[in-house]
Structure 1
Amino acid sequence: MIFGPTPLEEAKGAVLAHSLRLTGRVIKKGTVLDEGAITAIRESGRREVIAARLEAGDVPEDEAAERLALALLAPHVAKSRAATGRVNLLAETAGLLVLDAKRIDAINAVDESVTIATLPNYSMVSAKEMLATIKIIPFAVPGAVLAVTEAMARRGGTPFALHPFRPLKVGLVLTELPGIKESVMEGAVEATGARVDALQGTLLPVERVRHEEMPTAEALMRLKRAGAEILLVAGASAVVDRRDIGPAAIVRAGGVIEHFGMPVDPGNLLCLGRVGDTPAMVLPGCARSPKLNGFDWVLQRLFAGVAVTSRDVMAMGVGGLLKEIEVRPLPREHAPRTPPPPRAPRKARKVAAVVLAAGRSRRMAPLNKLLVADTSGLPMVARVVDNVLASQARPIVVVTGHESDRVHEALSTRPVLQTHAEDYAEGLSASLKAGLAAVPPDAEGVLICLGDMPLVSGPTLDRLIAAFDPEEGRAIVMPTFRGKQGNPMLWAREFLPEMLSITGDVGARHLVGKHADRMVEVEMADDAVLRDFDTTDALKTLPGMVKVG
């Protein structure tokens, strides 16, 4: 192809590169110039145009796009009419798009003139949705280049496959523990039903049983006899091992466990198995939410008749970081099929903070660790409160007890609420309960901050708040550093009744084991969340402190 300024005497049959606006007429780019167009251009005073002239063997853009599209067609895939060197491939039915990505990459690597752009591999698509677009970049393609790409597209069958969803019957077992809210159970059923409906399936009557191996196994067998083609277990407590109750129930029902865990977040704790030829899964806690998670990826493949093996699950890691929240700084957004209408950003959740500053500092006596000042004269408790004030948490409740007058004086200029724990000498639980009692009723969550951890910054607290979302299963947020669990912790309001019943010199951390399926860990960049300063030796290592002891 020859491209560039072309004298009008040589322009017949050439392709106009740029639109021309003439008196009473517009000749659009891409027009093949005939005698009438050339005469009109000459009458406008021009003597040449920017155009492309095809050489022997060149294939015009629309013909090239059409030929490559025909080579790529597959069952349930249609094509649009070629225009401006472009042909779109479209779904004829709802299903799962499965691509031979290596072959498509190879076709794109043949020559810069030929391009194929597709949806991500294993995309769930609806009827008439665009699957790919074939675009010829210049006005023509050398015939040899097109012949190579056509051959690559046909070799071994097209690299496109659209697997229609099948109307499968799904059986769901819900396991129950005392104290589980009915709304949690209903949410699991609603979210699962919506997923099954979207895939054109049917959810059988749900089985609700005790969170025990035998009742769960018996429920699975009843559902299988009822015609379930996929079996699901939604546990009252998150599965943490292949031998946990959900997986053990699948095995007891005559099945096997093929894979536990997946490199997709949220969705890490998925357990994949089968009972005979029937796929069986123990769901991760995040499956109670309608938001996209790893369970969706597996369920979509099963409905499309695409086998899911252990190796398939292991290969889901690239692109498996699904949630766009601050604790996952490189998210993969699940794009909607059509541009969403403008909407206001989600209102930030209201999180209060409770600073525990009532302790007697017995390990540092006669000093009160909270009142030891740094080189600028700032007491430790004031440093902690200033950090909390630098976060989004509001209001801030400071619990006083030992030497309450001095603590009150140290914080007198700061906009915080102070409440006194009369029975602070009975231990940490007394201070905790006094602080929780002062939390306003509209607070959705509470940060429990320790008065002897002055290195925990406002941005660190905001990372915890950003991760907090009870509706998606992140109702307890715990900071970690290199895998070690630290403080402060953020608790949803739903746990306050249990926290208020604690007695003795303990906090609420032991409740995490009971509600592990509602907890998320947030890895921090430094060890501030591990460092408390409750001894003289520890205090000597606190940056900015005067010499003590």
Structure 2
Amino acid sequence: MLFGEVRIDEAEGLILAHSLRLPTAMLKKGRLLSPADIALLKQAGMNFITGARLEDNDLGENDAAQAVADALCGPGVQSNGAFAGRCNLFATQGGVVVIDRDRLDRLNLVDEAVTVATVPPFVIARPRQMIATIKIIPFGVSRHTVDACAAYASTGGPLISVRPMKPFNAALILTILPGIRDKTLKAAAAVTRARIEGLGGAVAAEYRCPHDIGQLERCLTKALAAGHDLVLIIGASATVDRRDVAPSALEKAGGSIDHFGMPVDPGNLLLLGHVGAVPVVTLPGCARSPKPNGLDWVLSRLAAGVSIKPADIMRMGAGGLLKDLGGQVSTVWPGISTPNAMPHAAAIVLAGDSDAAPAVETALAAGLEPLVVVASNNSDAAEENLPPCDIRLLRNDDNPFAAGLAALPDDVEAVLIFAQGATISVTNVGDMLKALEPEEGRAIITAGDSCLIHCSHFAATSLATLLMDHAEQVLDLPISAKP
């Protein structure tokens, strides 16, 4: 790729390096300069312009980003289409995000021009949550580089996939020592049930027995005979050695100890074993609390059918400190994460004197809420065919745009403005929501006569003025023919 300053007379077909505000137009970064653009630049008195020009073996930033994204997408992952040299990957289903970290590192080491960032491996993703982003740094990159990155992404199984949670039933065994109150046992069982149910499973049976090797062996054998998919043991006393009560009972029941201890705090004293194909987990004492701990890291993988080997547990140290030195559990941790998915988006239908129903139906189908319809003061058409749902109907002829924004609650992060008579599909709405990236300079997304606005611009009083004053933050998407 060639990059640098060229004479205006030689700039046709150049990729503009920096956005330019001219007296009569706004030329945005990444634009392929046309003869008409050259004329505007000359009218503005410019003699030189900085930009890039692709060579024969180069791919443009969007084509390169899309090629790498296509190679990265494993089961449960899809891309949203490349724009501005970036392509984001989203989970198509809820589940555990599985990432081959070694291959990801090798891909990122190919060339500084290609970067892939992901959520931490084995986090739990929600449907439609963004889990990775591919960014091409320059305006173009050699095909050889893209091919090398795609090879790392596609060789050796999926590099990024989302494993859905599988329904499972668990047995819970609580051991008892003299003096333990029933209230304490019930509380520990309730916390564990909530954990299991949060992963799509169910505690199908609960057993209690004295904290004794023989008694626990018999209880464990009984639980295994009932055909449970997973057995969890909450010991009256924490396991402190492989020869302690719970691991000894596990081995007497015909099981094996896979690993004892983990470099995650809280959660150090977790023990993982199995009897046949059934995993058996002896819970650390901290698991009596609903706060995040190492148990969550193990349970999420088991629920998604992801195997856990001793080396996997021993590699959990980076990021495994879940509490500070004062003992407070961190609110951000890589076991079960909550990165932003789609923004909480509302809809404003500027109906005027027209029928608002088509736009309202699209907004409802796309999951936009709340819905605000702004009609003319003397019009009945806007509300004649509205569906029977929670819609706020306003009447305003002076400034319907500002009136609609003022009616939005504080927790709305973005709003889709349907102009009078605007017709876009649910697919278009989804594309607009995925493209909204205010941190990347895309705070306003347009498609046809509709406009998605980030909450940072909710103080605007005019849509036309907003689009003009912040043209560098506007991304215009084509209207898709998809339903």
TM interval, shorter chain, is 0.5 to 0.7
Corresponding residue for residue 213 of structure 2:
213
Aligned mates of 2:301, 2:157 — CA distance in 1: 21
Q: Secondary structure at the match of 1:205?
A: strand
Once the 2 structures are TM-superposed, how far is the Cα of residue 122 of structure 1 from its aligned partner?
A: 2.1
Check conservation: 2:3, 2:50, Cα contact below 8 A. Answer: yes
For residues 468-507 of structure 1, the aligned pairs below 5 Å read none
For residues 76-155 of structure 1, the aligned pairs below 5 Å read 76-155=76-155
Aligned mates of 1:23, 1:267 — CA distance in 2: 63
Corresponding residue for residue 31 of structure 1:
31
Corresponding residue for residue 334 of structure 1:
333
Check conservation: 1:320, 1:332, Cα contact below 8 A. Answer: no
Corresponding residue for residue 426 of structure 1:
none
Check conservation: 1:193, 1:203, Cα contact below 8 A. Answer: yes
Once the 2 structures are TM-superposed, how far is the Cα of residue 272 of structure 1 from its aligned partner?
A: 1.3
Q: Secondary structure at the match of 1:311?
A: helix
Structure 2 runs not aligned, ≥5 long: 342-483
Check conservation: 1:255, 1:276, Cα contact below 8 A. Answer: yes
Check conservation: 1:230, 1:278, Cα contact below 8 A. Answer: yes
Check conservation: 1:80, 1:90, Cα contact below 8 A. Answer: yes
For residues 289-300 of structure 1, the aligned pairs below 5 Å read 289-300=289-300
Aligned mates of 2:315, 2:55 — CA distance in 1: 46
Once the 2 structures are TM-superposed, how far is the Cα of residue 65 of structure 1 from its aligned partner?
A: 0.4
Cα 1:16–1:276, aligned 2, differ >3 Å: closer, same or farther?
A: same
Once the 2 structures are TM-superposed, how far is the Cα of residue 264 of structure 1 from its aligned partner?
A: 1.7
Per-residue CA distance 1:238-295 (angstroms, 9 max, x = gap): 1122222222222233322222222221111111111221110111000111122111
Per-residue CA distance 1:435-482 (angstroms, 9 max, x = gap): xxxxxxxxxxxxxxxxxxxxxxxxxxxxxxxxxxxxxxxxxxxxxxxx
Cα 1:108–1:38, aligned 2, differ >3 Å: closer, same or farther?
A: same
Q: Secondary structure at the match of 1:206?
A: strand
Structure whose CA Rg is larger: 1
Mapped pair 1:308 → 2:308: yes
Aligned mates of 1:68, 1:269 — CA distance in 2: 41
Aligned mates of 1:116, 1:253 — CA distance in 2: 47
Letter in 2 for 1:326: G
Per-residue CA distance 1:45-71 (angstroms, 9 max, x = gap): 222222112222111000000111111
Corresponding residue for residue 72 of structure 1:
72
For residues 520-535 of structure 1, the aligned pairs below 5 Å read none
Once the 2 structures are TM-superposed, how far is the Cα of residue 327 of structure 1 from its aligned partner?
A: 6.0
Aligned mates of 1:53, 1:61 — CA distance in 2: 12
Aligned mates of 1:156, 1:258 — CA distance in 2: 26
Letter in 1 for 2:338: R
Aligned mates of 2:3, 2:22 — CA distance in 1: 22
Aligned mates of 1:327, 1:305 — CA distance in 2: 32
Corresponding residue for residue 186 of structure 1:
186
Q: Secondary structure at the match of 2:49?
A: strand
Letter in 2 for 1:236: A
Cα 1:339–1:149, aligned 2, differ >3 Å: closer, same or farther?
A: closer
Cα 1:284–1:47, aligned 2, differ >3 Å: closer, same or farther?
A: same
For residues 265-414 of structure 1, the aligned pairs below 5 Å read 265-326=265-326, 333-334=332-333, 336-338=337-339
Query: What TM-score, normalized by structure 1, do the two folds share?
Result: 0.58
Check conservation: 1:187, 1:289, Cα contact below 8 A. Answer: no
Once the 2 structures are TM-superposed, how far is the Cα of residue 78 of structure 1 from its aligned partner?
A: 0.8
Check conservation: 2:129, 2:339, Cα contact below 8 A. Answer: no
Letter in 2 for 1:334: W
Q: Secondary structure at the match of 2:273?
A: strand
Once the 2 structures are TM-superposed, how far is the Cα of residue 136 of structure 1 from its aligned partner?
A: 0.2
Once the 2 structures are TM-superposed, how far is the Cα of residue 338 of structure 1 from its aligned partner?
A: 4.1
Aligned mates of 1:212, 1:33 — CA distance in 2: 79
Check conservation: 2:74, 2:158, Cα contact below 8 A. Answer: yes
Aligned mates of 2:25, 2:298 — CA distance in 1: 57
Aligned mates of 2:324, 2:19 — CA distance in 1: 43
Per-residue CA distance 1:82-121 (angstroms, 9 max, x = gap): 0011111111122222222121111111111111111112
Once the 2 structures are TM-superposed, how far is the Cα of residue 223 of structure 1 from its aligned partner?
A: 2.5
Once the 2 structures are TM-superposed, how far is the Cα of residue 15 of structure 1 from its aligned partner?
A: 1.1
Q: Secondary structure at the match of 1:157?
A: coil
Letter in 2 for 1:275: V
Aligned mates of 1:167, 1:234 — CA distance in 2: 22
Q: Secondary structure at the match of 1:98?
A: strand
Check conservation: 1:257, 1:271, Cα contact below 8 A. Answer: yes
Once the 2 structures are TM-superposed, how far is the Cα of residue 138 of structure 1 from its aligned partner?
A: 0.6
Aligned mates of 2:328, 2:191 — CA distance in 1: 23
Aligned mates of 1:282, 1:152 — CA distance in 2: 38
Once the 2 structures are TM-superposed, how far is the Cα of residue 212 of structure 1 from its aligned partner?
A: 2.4
Once the 2 structures are TM-superposed, how far is the Cα of residue 174 of structure 1 from its aligned partner?
A: 1.2
Letter in 2 for 1:235: G
Check conservation: 2:271, 2:283, Cα contact below 8 A. Answer: yes
Cα 1:61–1:339, aligned 2, differ >3 Å: closer, same or farther?
A: closer
Check conservation: 1:321, 1:328, Cα contact below 8 A. Answer: no
Corresponding residue for residue 238 of structure 1:
238
Corresponding residue for residue 420 of structure 2:
none
Per-residue CA distance 1:501-523 (angstroms, 9 max, x = gap): xxxxxxxxxxxxxxxxxxxxxxx
Per-residue CA distance 1:170-218 (angstroms, 9 max, x = gap): 1111112232244432331222112111211111132222222333233
Aligned mates of 1:197, 1:249 — CA distance in 2: 27
Check conservation: 1:8, 1:42, Cα contact below 8 A. Answer: yes
Cα 1:75–1:339, aligned 2, differ >3 Å: closer, same or farther?
A: closer
Cα 1:64–1:281, aligned 2, differ >3 Å: closer, same or farther?
A: same
Cα 1:19–1:96, aligned 2, differ >3 Å: closer, same or farther?
A: same
Once the 2 structures are TM-superposed, how far is the Cα of residue 339 of structure 1 from its aligned partner?
A: 6.6
Corresponding residue for residue 225 of structure 1:
225
RMSD (CA atoms): 2.2
Query: What TM-score, normalized by structure 2, do the two folds share?
Result: 0.66
Q: Secondary structure at the match of 2:205?
A: coil
Once the 2 structures are TM-superposed, how far is the Cα of residue 220 of structure 1 from its aligned partner?
A: 2.3
> How many residues were matched structurally?
339
Aligned mates of 2:15, 2:206 — CA distance in 1: 65
Aligned mates of 1:87, 1:248 — CA distance in 2: 52
Per-residue CA distance 1:313-338 (angstroms, 9 max, x = gap): 22322332222343699x89416514
Check conservation: 1:213, 1:248, Cα contact below 8 A. Answer: yes
